[in-house]
Amino acid sequence: MNSAAVEEAVPVNGAIPRDQSFEYVLEVVNVRKEFPGVLALDNVELKIRPGTVHALMGENGAGKSTLMKVIAGIYQPDSGEVKLRGETITLENPLKAQESGIAMIHQELLLMNQMTVAENIWIRREPKNTFGLIDHSEMHKMTEDLFDRLNIHLDPDAEISTLSVANRQMVEIAKAVSFNSDVLIMDEPTSAITETEVAHLFDIIRSLRKQGIGIVYITHKMNELFEIADEFSVFRDGKYIGTHASSDVTRDDIIQMMVGRSVDQMFPKEDVELGDVLLSVKNLTLEGVFQDVSFDVRAGEILGFAGLVGSGRSNVAEAIFGVTPADSGSVWIEGEEVHIKTPNDAIMQGMAFLTEDRKETGCFLSLDIQENIQSAVLHENFVNGGGFVDQVKLNEESEALCQKLRVKTPNMEEAIENLSGGNQQKVLIARWLLTHPRILILDEPTRGIDVGAKSEIHSLVTQLAHKGVAVIMISSELPEVLGMSDRVLVMHEGHVTGILDRSEADQVSVMNLAAQ
Amino acid sequence: MTTLNDTMNLEKESQGIKKKRKIPSEISILLVLIGISIMFEILGWIFVGQSFLMNMSRLQIIVLQVSVIGIIAIGVTMVIITGGIDLSSGSVVAMSAMIAATFAQSSSWPKVLFPTLTDLPFVVPLIVGLAVGALAGFVNGWLITKTKIPPFIATLGMMVSARGVARWYTDGSPVSGFTKEFAMLGNALDRWMPVVIFIVVAIIFHVVMRYTRFGKFTYAIGANPQAARVSGINIDRHLIKVYTIAGLLVGLAAMVAIARIKTAQAGMGLMYELDAIAAAVIGGVSLSGGRGRIAGTVIGALILGVMLSGFTFLRIDAYYQDIIKGAIIVVAVVIDQQRQNKRKKTT
């Protein structure tokens, strides 16, 4: 294997001499990106200096991920420009971004699990021998050299599926470095790894920084920001808020920048006289996911669940509803212990659960609106002895509900996939209202839907509370939780870190408990 | 829900959701069937000099041939709607047929296999046949839900094993000499019996799929198993039911088939599973699950039957028939795929 062949097979992408003729290795200027109904990026900017670690901060939905996808060539901006090494570039697709010297390590690792470490790193760039076939020993050697540079200790021939999450992360980083990228984007790289692994990761990041690479580091964790980042930029609601050196600010400053706005009057929360405790959860534990979760919800109460994505909020809801039953702990309804093993058990107890992911666990996309609404009541009043469904009664009640909820559709036989997100969500809410629940769990009830539908759903939830329904409302949108809830339960890494009363819950107190 | 009336005060604004029935997609498949029939009619007058359709015995043969595949295809349709597949139908036809046939023999037949089992009432072999089919279906469903192996593999295993059982049971020798009573299953009503059974089964399952909880669950599971689970549906139990019923219908088809041709052979039912799947797919049942109707499958089976009869009528070589049949199946799936892509684009 001669070296010329290696160079031919392995184009050294982005290997432009790193002179300092430009102040910023990556510059985002006035980038705007709109999705139907949502302005995801409102003329934002971002400036990354070479040889620095630049943290991106912001609540969920602030626009960080969208911005990163623009930089990585996954989304095209509606307007504005991206400058790399001082020159404006157009990134038509992820490949172009990669070849230009921008590498992104996604939160959900995108490796081919059945292939080896080396194959994953060098795919599309495999070294060839004189016969034009892949030279495995050369590839092995190249991987070892790369790993030596990064101080990574992994077998290049190991299959990805045998590696831990942290080690897969290392492989992704090595792959990104192998492109000789100038900009490396890391999307919450520490969300699934242990402390010692984090230390190793930070060592690698520091050595990359020394090599002059600009590193964009997305994180929710304050302490990481102070430990590794040189500068940080804050985003909120798709807007750029500001950039500062991390040595200049305190933790409270950053939270203030992240949550900034005051809670407006969008949330029609009314005081409801609370009834007795309806649902009581005691010491609920699912090994490795959440521990020792306890709380009560009273009739007419809205209990908000706050916490970062991945803190275990949704898992607790799934455990209560029997989707993934807990390992230990107990659930009590009206003072009696109930044993819920399946969602059917939960429905029989008068529970309803609007799941987080509309497409994945909510809609029957190939079925029509009517069929989507009735799926949860086929056990009950609407089925007669022979298993025949009382379609007339069902149609009447479903249609009445759709009108009340103002579902915009030409008819009930319309396929649900032809509706907008907000209308789909209303149909799913109608599904659960048809069961006449006394305990309603809403997981991200207003995610990705427009403002009008959002406030309609909020007022509906308030009205249900008036009727004495106990509501659990999980939301990543802090203003929504604060605006709607009687009390706010905050989770962090599988633990309940606090339950705040409406009077003491504000953005800062909740973020303090959620981000620790 | 009256409880919301007073709270949301939206009655005045809500405009009422219009009643508008869409044209069912079965109509377009029916048009294809009519088109093909007319095509053979015209080609018949040109090349053969006689009518294709105005021939009662030919029409009877077409529907008789369709009946056996059609009964199987109804079960297969339900399986496909759940998002699964059943490759074992053809072999299970042979297995049910061979085992049940030994309970259907008349003592007057010279080569009786089990002399103690002759001259039994016709319900005995019928129940045995249905039970063997249902058992095979149950095993399919059990394997799929409890071991989580893909339906393709589970039913592939059954396909190979059931054929083996059929051969082993009588050491490969065919079984004939049925009681008159049993033979009626395939010949009563002036030989229309299989057609009557097919129509009755089709109507029953059309009703079941449209108007019962069982049907609604079947669609829900195929459309989105996770959402079905959250809706409180016991997926494993329901899938086992669906595969068992599909097996039961295969057993029924096997009984009708042997009663009609008055003999059972270990090699029978070859490729029936593919014809049944083809009938469903041509009839608009989506292989990705959640979509399709019994009526479509019935028409799909008729299209297959008319095509085969038409080709024979036009004296087209059997090899060409297979080539064309294969092409039709592929075209049907291509159309299904395009329909789905179109749907995705509109959202």
**pLDDT tens-digit map of A108-144:** 677 888 899 999 999 888 898 888 898 999 999 999 9
DSSP for A78-112 reads: SEEEEEETTEEE---SHHHHHHHTEEEE-SS----
* Contact present, A350 and A338 (Cβ < 8 Å): no
Smallest CA–CA distance from B232 into chain A, residue? A344
pLDDT tens-digit series, residues A173-222: 898 888 888 999 998 888 777 777 888 889 999 989 998 999 999 887 77
What proportion of chain A, given as a percentage, has pLDDT over 90? 47
Beta pairing, strands A53-57 & A214-218: parallel
Answer whether residue A14 shows pLDDT above 80.
Answer: no
Q: Which of A447, A441, A409 is nearest to A427 (CA)?
A: A409
Q: How many CB atoms lie within 10 A of CB A29?
A: 14
Assess B204–A contact: CB distance below 8 Å, yes or no.
Answer: no
Give the nearest partner residue to A410 out of B18, B213, B233, using CB atoms: B18
- Whether A365 sits inside 8 A of B229 (CB atoms) is no
Whether residue B17 and residue A375 make contact (CB cut-off 8 A), yes or no, is: no
Average pLDDT estimate for A300-314: 90
Q: Residue A199, SS3?
A: helix
Is the pLDDT score of A7 beyond 50? Answer: no
pLDDT reported for residue B21: 52
Please name the member of B10, B226, B234 whose beta carbon is closest to the beta carbon of A342: B234
Least confident of A327-336, A427-436, A472-481: A472-481
pLDDT at residue A366 greater than cutoff 60: yes
Q: Which of these, A188, A183, A171, lies nearest to A208 by C-alpha position?
A: A183
Rounded to whole angstroms, what are the CA distances from A29 to A23, A79, A81, A186, B215?
Answer: 14, 9, 5, 21, 56
Residue A8 has a pLDDT of 39
Q: Measured between CA atoms, how close is A427 to chain B, in angstroms? A: 13
What pLDDT score was predicted for residue B13?
35
Q: Are strands A351-354 and A439-443 parallel, antiparallel or unpaired?
A: parallel
Across the interface, whether the CB atoms of A406 and B14 are under 8 A apart is answered yes
Q: Could you tell me which of A304, A303, A341 has the C-alpha nearest to residue A321?
A: A341
pLDDT given at position B149 = 96
A 323-362 residues with CB below 8 A of B? 323, 342-344, 346-348, 353, 355, 360-362
Q: Flag the least confident range among A232-236, A308-312, B342-346.
A: B342-346
Are residues A389 and B211, on separate chains, in Cβ contact within 8 Å?
A: yes
Mean pLDDT per segment of 10 residues, for chain B of length 347 residues? 39 42 73 92 91 90 94 98 97 97 91 85 96 98 96 97 96 92 89 95 95 93 93 94 98 96 94 94 90 94 92 88 85 77 56
Region A307-313 average pLDDT? 84
For residue A1, pLDDT over 50 is answered with: no
Name the A residues in 283-322 with CB < 8 Å from any B CB: 321
ipTM beyond 0.85?
Answer: no
Task: State residue A353 phi and psi, 5-degree precision.
Answer: -140, 105
Q: Which of A472, A86, A91 is nearest to A284 (CA)?
A: A472
Instruction: Say whether A119 sits in a helix, a strand or coil.
Output: helix
Mark yes or no for CB contact A346/B14 under 8 Å.
no
B8–A404 C-beta distance less than 8 A: yes
Q: How far is A40 from chain B (nearest CA, A)?
A: 19
Chain B partners within 8 Å of A367 (Cβ): 219-220, 223, 290
Tell me the whole-structure pTM to 2 decimals. Answer: 0.76
Q: Is B228 in contact with A404 (Cβ distance < 8 A)? A: no
Half-sphere exposure of A144 (CA within 13 A, CB side): 8
The partner residue sitting opposite A387, judged by closest CB among B214, B219, B222, is: B214
In this prediction, residue A283 has a pLDDT band, given cuts at 50, 70 and 90, of very high
Q: Is the pLDDT of residue A10 over 80?
A: no
Alpha carbon of B22 to those of A58, A202, A414, B69, B205: distances in Å? Answer: 47, 60, 9, 30, 22
A413 touches chain B (CB under 8 A): yes
Are A53 and A228 within 8 A, CB to CB? yes
